[in-house]
Every structure is written in structure tokens, then in C-alpha cells.
Structure 1
Amino acid sequence: MENDVSLKFHQQLLLISENLVTEDVVAIKFLCMDFLHLSKLEAVKSAADIFKLLMAQEYLSAEDTFLLAELLYRIKCHSLLEKLGYTKEKVQECLHEKGRVSPYRQMLYELSENITDDMLKKIAFLLQNRLPKCWIITSALDLLSLLEKQGLLTEDNVQVLEYVFKIVSPDLLETIDNYKKAKDNKAANFTQGFPELNLELRGEFSNVGKGSKTLSSYKMDGPHRGFCLIINNVNFISSQRKGSCKDAEQLEKVFTWLGLDVRTYTDLTSEGITELMQTWQHMPDHKDRNCFICCILSHGASGAIYGTDYKLVSIRVLMTHFTAKQCPQLAGKPKLFFIQACQGDSTQRAVYVDTDGPTPDPSSMQERVSLSESIPEEADFLLGMATVDGCVSFRHTEEGTWYIQALCSKLQLLVPRGEDILSILTQVNEDVARRVDPSGRKKQMPQPAYTLRRKFIFPIPTAPPPSVQHLGF
């Protein structure tokens, strides 16, 4: 029986190892530097090698797999947690008592996730007299590890990071400041593994700009504002989303007025949507842009949208194409996604009012995904949903959807007043919430979710706003 348990455990580890790419292995090595000897880590070539080291030091066993679960959680490989019997939420609950990755290591890893290739070159140039001449720096983690080896970076001394980021990326100084403040405030509670502060410090990292400091705004004064993609799915296999072209037309006019380069794509399958995201993920022109916006008009289900082939595409998967890791050109820049689609079951249709719900067999529907799980965990994202999870959103068959028409109307009204995007979306919520279908019974409530660190304010256009008729239902 014991041999069976051991065999199953090693099979689990092998399966996890095979699902981790080279970047994941490098990240796990870095996170393990506090409790595995550096000389042994340098010989690691695969995730399985790390697992052997952890088992040899009794950090990992069939009876206690939490450290591995924590490591997978830290590098955001949440889908692999189920192979250990964990979920993302279960790991979060246990971190306070069982977490081993120190706040210092967390802080460094968070910084590495936001260091682009261009920033890395600048940092290496600034530190050229302090680093070995023959050393080739291939990644942010490689640089941070080298600084530690040289004794230039320690848990109690992060001055070298403050020096380079003050020049290269002042935004990242806030991550370092939060670490130092938390370390000073909780110094009496620190232990070798820093278990008490894992959750608390993680929370403080997400509170950038709160408290007595005035929240600054994203830079929006570059030579080009950014790209705006509009995916307009109208013609499905067995139905049409009548009125959607009105939405696409208004969005194109408004975002062009706001200075964005708009690209509209019509009737994409699930595969076509995914391929489009991959194409724009690697677009080099993002480098000179201030932001990125994507609007998707389609049928939908919980946490997903449909291609015209009635196959679901996860909203979260679409958005993660534009994280700092996957799209370095947009690192630190705001990425806004507006989704016009139902997020739940269809409702009885009324005169002139249609719903953006699915028509396929309900048995094919996926499980619900909460809004908080729909956006990437890293900073600088905003997801504007036409409706709350589980509910339908309404579309006038001639004049477009309640949500998109309200969004276009409020952008034209409030951008010239200098309002930030969250204030604008709050008024969009209020506008849509007032609307009612012809029967007088059906309502809708939009919902934004975001990881923005600063205010997002569109520069006021010099031209007058395009005229958008305010619809009254």
C-alpha cells in the first residue's frame, strides 16, 4: 500500500514536471533560493530535479505537498494545482500559516514580472561596473540572482534596486517601498520562512496608490495613443446578432475620436479570435503606444465568449496574451477590455429586445467563472462586462446594446470633463441600471473589474465628439 502511494505521488510529480516550460522552471528555482543551496540549484535542468532536491530536504513528500502547491500558485500555474488536490482558493487560505516563500523573494519575483527586455538592457548598462564582465544576463531573474551572488542585493539592503528603478522605471519603486514598509511594521513577527506575512504583504502589493498618497495617472502623452480592436460577431451558424453593427460603428467612431487606431474584425470563430489575440500579442508597434483596448461583441457564457462556430473562448485566456510576460511591449501600460455578451442563461425575449445569450444546448455550457477569476492577476488590466455573472445582457435589434450605447455616450460626455475611466464606468452602470425592456420587467447591471494601479484618463480631444443618439428604452 505504501509503495502504491509513493508510485502515485511520483507519477503526479512527473506529470506536473512535464507541464512546466523552461520559464516556469527558472521561476521555481528562483523562489526556492531561500531554502535550497545555490550550488545544487545551479545544477538543476528540469522541474523534476527541483522536486528531488525538495524531497531530499524534506520540504516535499506524499504527505505534505503544500510547498509545491505554493510554488505553482506563485508562478500562476493554477491549472496544475488540482493534480495535488489543491485549488487556487485553498492555497490562498493556507498561505498565512504554511507559506514558505519569503516576502523578500516575493517582492523580487514580482519585480521580475514587470521588467521588460528594454528595461533589462538599461539596468545592465547602469550596473556594468558592478557586474562581472563576462556574465551574460538573459532575464530579469538572472540579473536579480547575480546581484544577490555579488552581495549587492539582500533582504535588508535593496538600495541597488532603488537606484536603478528611480532611473529606469519609477513606477516599480512602489513595490520596493511596500516591501520595506511591511518589513519595518512587522519586524517583530519575522521568522526564518516569513510565514506570517505572505498574505499580508501580497495584499499590500495590490494597494499601490492607496492611503494618504494621491493616485497618479497613467502616461497618455506619447506620439500614439494605442490600438483598439473591435471583434464584432454578427452571423452565427443558426442566428444573427441584429443591432451589433450599430455598436461596432459607434465604438469605432468614439475610440477614433479618442485618438486610437481602430481595427474592426467581423464574424470570427473561436480559433479565429484566439489567433487574432496571438497576432496582436506580438505586434511590435505597441512599444510606441500608451495603451491597448479590445472590445468584443458576441454571445457569451460565464467567463467566456462564443466564436461564430458556437465554441467558447475563455475571457481570461484572451486577456493573458497581453500580460507583461507575454507582451513586454505593453508592460506597465493599461490594457482595457470591454465585453458585450451574456454571462448566463437566456431569458424570455420581448418585442424589439434580443439577448446576447447562447442558443446551443445548455448541457454544453461550462461552469461559471467569477469575475475576479476572469482577469489576469498582474497589474494594469481593466475588464468592463456588460452584465454581472450568470445574467443576460440586452440588445436592441436595430439600435444596439444597452451597455455599448451607454459606454459610447458617457465617454463622449465625460472625457471632455477630465473624468477617469472608473468614474465613467460608474456612470455607465447607473445609465444601464435605469433602463428597462418593453415589458417593464427585465433589467441589466454592468460590472467592471480591474487591477489598474493608476487613474486612466483619456486626453481631451480637440475635435468635438461624434454624435451618438442617446437611446431610451
Structure 2
Amino acid sequence: MAAKDTVRRNKTDIQTTLCADYNLILNKVYEKDLITQREYNNLKSINKVDVEWLVTDIVDKMINKGEDTCQGFLNLLQTDEDIRETYPELKKKKWNDNRPLSKPVQASSVDSTDSSPDTKRQKKDEQYQLNSKPTGLCVIINNERFMNHVVRTGTNKDAESLGKVFSWLGFRVLMCKDQTKDQMDQALNYFTSLSDPSQLPEFSVKEWSDGGFTDLQEAPKHGDAFICCILSNGLNGAVLGTDGEALSIKAIYKRFRATDQSVLTGKPKVFLIQACQRGEVGLKDLQSDDSRSLSIPGEADFLIATATVGGHDSYRHRINGSWFIQSVCQQLEEGCPRGDEMTTIFCRVIDEVSQKGVPNRPCVKQMPEFRCTLRKRLVLSPHCN
């Protein structure tokens, strides 16, 4: 039996056993490089009253990371002395897979089918060329405080995570905070063309720099790709401004359609929509988000991802941010250094978020969605500062 199947089939038993000492298993999976530094920091900071939920999250991460990670996790449970002493029940388990971790197979450099000039040219033509420095702009609209006194706690964590990961991927990251519907509309119109820098003060634009959002350094310019992230409340296929007025999600991205005048024509444009709707849903540290599914315009070069399919909730932790945005950042962090394309990464986001849940709350589930008209492979790569 494959290691992933073994972990999946024994998931409930493993979770129940590991709840005896959450900190130990968290530290061990981090020491063995089974989770990233960011994942470790996020899990470490969560209130210990949620131990059962957090252990579930650790096991889910093992499953979502694939066969090699699951095999490493099983090896850890079977061979580590601290683990065996702390969780004596594990000594009784008979795992089917105890083989060592397999190493990835690398392509041969002498493979004539991959090394010919025509093949290399074809592969280059099939992928968006991201050569500009910076790679492009990542614009975040982060609505935290609304005029009706609603506060979207946890949204700043999402904005910070997006700032870190897209800066790491070579983008210049800008944020507009607490925008009304008209301000969002005007800001988005500005970013389609960047034609009048004198408008910038109207949008309270901040820039990600040295681990935080600071005053804007200089007027922004477009590069070879564009990212737009909307973090707000939402209703019926729209996002809400801080004044409670709705801006259609379709209207958000349609203004970036290809035209003869647009500098973004032919370039990839990615939209991430995390839209909150109904606030509290009776869970201690969760708030409910909601957005409708989108219909993709006929124009090319778009990838649009929403936190949930239409008519359903999405969830945001008060401290650690939303399931969707945090998963996006994690999967970018893990997949981009391997050269994974964006559609593959978003499939992993859907898989990871769909498996999340809250113990004893089976109705708390979430299914993200993405649709795209990308004509080529979109591969984002880390940039060394």
C-alpha cells in the first residue's frame, strides 16, 4: 500500500493518538522538513484550545504534500524515539509501508527528444516569458474596517502573506486599504493604465518593503504579469466596499481585457477573490466568507480564483487568515521553486482547502474554484534579492 493511502486510511487513529502532545509532533515534522517555516510559524501561533483541529491540519498537510512526505511522516512515527515514548500506542501499529523515501527521478541531459533546438523553442513559446524586473505588479485591496463597524479580523494576515510570497516571486506588491466601492472602482481603473500618477494619493497606496507595508517609494509601472487580490466582504457575485456598496466581480476583471491601448494585452493576469459575507457562523475563531462563482470573459490570458463556489461559505481564522489565501501562499511557496505552473498550483489549493474542516463540525467545508483562459504555461519563479 502506498504511504499516502496508509496515512489516509489511518488518519483518524493517527490524529487521536497525536493529540496527546501537539507541540512534539509539530516540532518533529518541522525538524524533518515535512512542513515549511511559514507553516510551522502559523501552526505554532494558534491557541492550544484547538489542539484536535491543529493535529488534523498537520495530518492533512502530510497527505496533501504527496507520497514522499507521507512516507517521511510514517518513518518519523515508526523510528523516532521521542515519538515512540510519547505516543506508546504507535508501537502497536503495523504499517504496510516502511520503505525509505524515494528520490525524484531527474530527466537525462542526453535525451535527444528534449534537447533539440526546435523542442526548446517550442517549450519557450508555450510559456509566458516573464523577463521584466520587477516581474509585474501585485495589487491588494484589503478591506478590514467597514462603516457599519464590521471588522474583518485576520485579513491583515492574508495581506502580509500575499506581500511576502509575491515579493519573493519578483513582484512589486502594493496595497490599498479600506476602500469604498467608488474608491475600489477608481483604483482599479488607475491600475489598468497607470496613466496619471497624481491620482495615487487618493487610494492610500502602501508598498511591501522589508517585511511590512510602508509608504509608496515611486510611481508603479507594469511588467510582464499582473496580480490582483481582493480581500473584502462579498454578496451575490460582488465584493463590498467599506461603505457596504457592491462592486461586481465581473466588472473588476473585465476592465483589464485586451485592447490595442492596454500594456497588459497578451500578458497573464491573475485575480484572487477572498470575499467575506456573513460574519460569525458560531465557531470560536472562524468568520464566514462567501462569493458567487464567476463567468469567464472570452478574452484570453486570465486566471481567476475564488475562495468558494457560488452560494457557499469560505472561512477566515481571526489570527491566521483565511483558509484560501493561506493555502495559495503555501502552495506558491512550495510549487514555484519546482517550476510548477499556476494551474497545477491552484489544483493543489482546491485539494488542500477542500480537505480542511473543524472536528465535530462536518458541515464546515469549503470548495474553492478557479477558471482560466491562459493561452500558455504560467510559471512564477523566486527572485533573489
Q: Given the two structures, how large is their TM-score scaled by the length of structure 2?
A: 0.58
For residues 137-165 of structure 1, give each alpha carbon's deviation from its aligned partner in whole angstroms, at most 9, with x where no partner exists: xxxxxxxxxxxxxxxxxxxxxxxxxxxxx
Instruction: Supply the RMSD in Å over aligned alpha carbons.
Output: 2.3
Partners in 2 of 1:346 and 1:230 — Cα distance?
21
Q: Would the aligned equivalents of 2:168 and 2:382 in 1 still touch at CA under 8 Å?
A: no
What amino acid maps onto 1:461 in structure 2?
H
Partners in 2 of 1:248 and 1:232 — Cα distance?
7
The yes-or-no answer on 1:308 pairing with 2:308 is: no
User: Aligned to 1:319, which of 242, 245, 253?
Assistant: 253
The yes-or-no answer on 1:377 pairing with 2:287 is: no
Q: Would the aligned equivalents of 1:277 and 1:318 in 2 still touch at CA under 8 Å?
A: yes
Q: Which has the larger radius of gyration?
A: 1
For residues 51-104 of structure 1, give each alpha carbon's deviation from its aligned partner in whole angstroms, at most 9, with x where no partner exists: xxxxxxxxxxxxxxxxxxxxxxxxxxxxxxxxxxxxxxxxxxxxxxxxxxxxxx
User: Aligned to 1:355, which of 288, 291, 302?
Assistant: 288
Partners in 2 of 1:438 and 1:352 — Cα distance?
13
Question: In 2 relative to 1, CA 286–263 (structure 1 residues): closer, same or farther, beyond 3 Å?
Answer: closer
Partners in 2 of 1:454 and 1:246 — Cα distance?
32
Cα displacement (A) at 1:351: 1.1
The yes-or-no answer on 1:223 pairing with 2:133 is: yes
1:298 partner SS: strand
Among the aligned pairs, what percent are the same residue?
37
**Per residue, is there more strand in 1 or in 2?**
2
Partners in 1 of 2:177 and 2:169 — Cα distance?
22
Matches within 5 A, 1:143-182: none
Match of 1:434 in 2: 355
Partners in 2 of 1:334 and 1:438 — Cα distance?
39
**Per residue, is there more helix in 1 or in 2?**
1
Q: Would the aligned equivalents of 1:347 and 1:392 in 2 still touch at CA under 8 Å?
A: no
Number of residues of Structure 1 aligned to a counterpart in Structure 2: 238
User: Aligned to 2:310, which of 389, 396, 402?
Assistant: 389
Partners in 2 of 1:314 and 1:288 — Cα distance?
24
Partners in 1 of 2:286 and 2:359 — Cα distance?
8
Question: In 2 relative to 1, CA 269–256 (structure 1 residues): closer, same or farther, beyond 3 Å?
Answer: same
Partners in 2 of 1:223 and 1:325 — Cα distance?
23
Question: In 2 relative to 1, CA 313–326 (structure 1 residues): closer, same or farther, beyond 3 Å?
Answer: farther
For residues 9-59 of structure 1, give each alpha carbon's deviation from its aligned partner in whole angstroms, at most 9, with x where no partner exists: xxxxxxxxxxxxxxxxxxxxxxxxxxxxxxxxxxxxxxxxxxxxxxxxxxx
The yes-or-no answer on 1:457 pairing with 2:382 is: no
Cα displacement (A) at 1:318: 1.1
Partners in 1 of 2:261 and 2:280 — Cα distance?
39
Which is bigger in relative contact order (C-alpha 8 A, separation at least 6)? Answer: 2
Match of 2:228 in 1: 294
Matches within 5 A, 1:171-250: 216-236=126-146, 237-250=148-161
Partners in 2 of 1:380 and 1:421 — Cα distance?
12
Match of 1:398 in 2: 319
Match of 1:18 in 2: none
Question: In 2 relative to 1, CA 326–308 (structure 1 residues): closer, same or farther, beyond 3 Å?
Answer: farther
Match of 2:370 in 1: 448
Match of 1:253 in 2: 164
Match of 1:30 in 2: none
What amino acid maps onto 2:307 in structure 1?
A
Match of 2:185 in 1: 274
Partners in 2 of 1:256 and 1:349 — Cα distance?
36
Partners in 2 of 1:327 and 1:337 — Cα distance?
21
The yes-or-no answer on 1:264 pairing with 2:175 is: yes
What amino acid maps onto 1:354 in structure 2?
Q
Match of 1:90 in 2: none
Cα displacement (A) at 1:349: 2.6
Q: Which runs of 5+ in 1 are unaligned?
A: 1-212, 358-367, 464-473
Q: Which runs of 5+ in 2 are unaligned?
A: 1-121, 196-218
Partners in 1 of 2:355 and 2:261 — Cα distance?
39
Q: Would the aligned equivalents of 2:292 and 2:311 in 1 still touch at CA under 8 Å?
A: no
Q: Would the aligned equivalents of 2:301 and 2:373 in 1 still touch at CA under 8 Å?
A: yes
For residues 226-254 of structure 1, give each alpha carbon's deviation from its aligned partner in whole angstroms, at most 9, with x where no partner exists: 00001111101231100100000110011
User: Aligned to 2:267, which of 333, 338, 347?
Assistant: 333
